[in-house]
């Protein structure tokens, strides 16, 4: 059995980067990103392909270290996200007392949109997000639209500032739709330029509950995809909860297809 060491190479109250090391060969076997959400924590693990035979041992070590860290920071649910979860992943989750709770579908579709797809929504006016001006209005709508969401709901200004400081942030790809001077809906896009081909993600899309039922979800999705295509992106992508039947129906109708499934195995990090 390989001896695995765990190092926290970056750690604060909002998360950590964990490195799992193969001590015998003095090399990195895996890295993991741990992040605090709104009353929840998430961990995603990337294992070096050379160390896949030790996958069970590495994942058990990393997830156990994550759970201990979360307990030290006051506890809360820990979500381990596994892409296309295998029987090994399910076995590891069971060994650690985690249960399968959530599934995210990553959907993709080619860009640009077909003209007949564009015309399925009424045209609406949008404008780019203005840094230093639109933060509070966006937070208000986002937190109403995602009131019960474990990651996207309950954002504070500091979290938005963190995203604005990211290298990928582009206010021109952050579209707002207003009705009588009030923010009614938004579509925030993100370009993954390091991916080949480049992926254009609908990072967050939301409609204020007061404006539900007016077709804004479809219209803003189309506006976001057209904005990505205008930047030369040829593949559109988004994530959606597998249980969100209305959203899935919309996205499939717009030509998205399933690319892969990410499953969250969950444990209460407060318990011992």
User: Is 0.75 topped by the overall pTM?
Assistant: yes
Q: Print burial letters for 133-166: b (CB count within 10 Å at least 16), e (below 16).
A: ebeebbbebbbebbeeebebbbbeeeebeeeeee
pLDDT of residue 139: 98
d(CA 171, CA 144): 21
Q: What domains appear along the chain, each with residue ranges and CATH number?
A: 4-103+263-268 (3.40.630.30), 112-233 (3.40.630.30)
d(CA 42, CA 165): 21
* Sheet of 15-22, strand order: 4-12, 15-22, 27-36, 41-47, 77-83, 257-268, 99-110, 235-241, 199-207, 182-192, 174-179, 127-128
pLDDT digits (tens, 9 = 90+) for 206-246: 999 999 999 999 999 999 999 999 999 999 999 999 999 99
Specify the range with the lowest mean pLDDT, choosing from 31-35, 39-43, 140-144: 39-43
pLDDT digits (tens, 9 = 90+) for 164-182: 999 999 999 999 999 999 9
């Amino acid at each position: 059995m390989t001896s695995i060491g765990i190092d926290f190479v970056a750690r604060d109250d909002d998360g950590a980067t964990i490195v799992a090391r193969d001590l015998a060969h003095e090399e990195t076997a895996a890295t993991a990103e741990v992040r605090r959400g709104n009353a929840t924590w998430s961990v995603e693990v990337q294992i070096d392909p050379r160390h896949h035979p030790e996958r069970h041992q590495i994942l058990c070590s990393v997830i156990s270290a994550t759970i201990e860290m979360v307990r030290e920071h006051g506890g809360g649910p820990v979500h381990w996200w596994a892409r296309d979860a295998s029987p090994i992943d399910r076995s590891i989750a069971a060994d650690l007392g985690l249960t399968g709770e959530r599934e995210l579908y990553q959907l993709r579709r080619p860009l640009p949109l077909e003209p007949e797809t564009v015309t399925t929504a009424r045209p609406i006016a949008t404008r780019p997000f203005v840094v230093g001006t639109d933060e509070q209005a966006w937070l208000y709508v986002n937190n109403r639209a995602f009131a019960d969401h474990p990651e996207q709901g309950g954002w504070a200004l500091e979290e938005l500032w963190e995203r604005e400081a990211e290298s990928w942030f582009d206010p021109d790809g952050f579209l707002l739709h207003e009705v009588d001077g009030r923010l009614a809906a938004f579509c925030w896009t993100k370009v993954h330029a390091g991916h080949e081909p480049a992926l254009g993600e609908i990072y967050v899309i939301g409609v204020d509950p007061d404006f539900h039922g007016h077709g804004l979800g479809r219209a803003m999705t189309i506006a976001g995809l057209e904005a990505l295509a205008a930047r030369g992106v040829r593949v559109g992508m988004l994530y959606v909860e597998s249980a969100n039947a209305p959203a899935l129906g919309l996205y499939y109708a717009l030509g998205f297809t399933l690319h892969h499934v990410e499953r969250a195995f969950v444990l209460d990090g407060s318990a011992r």
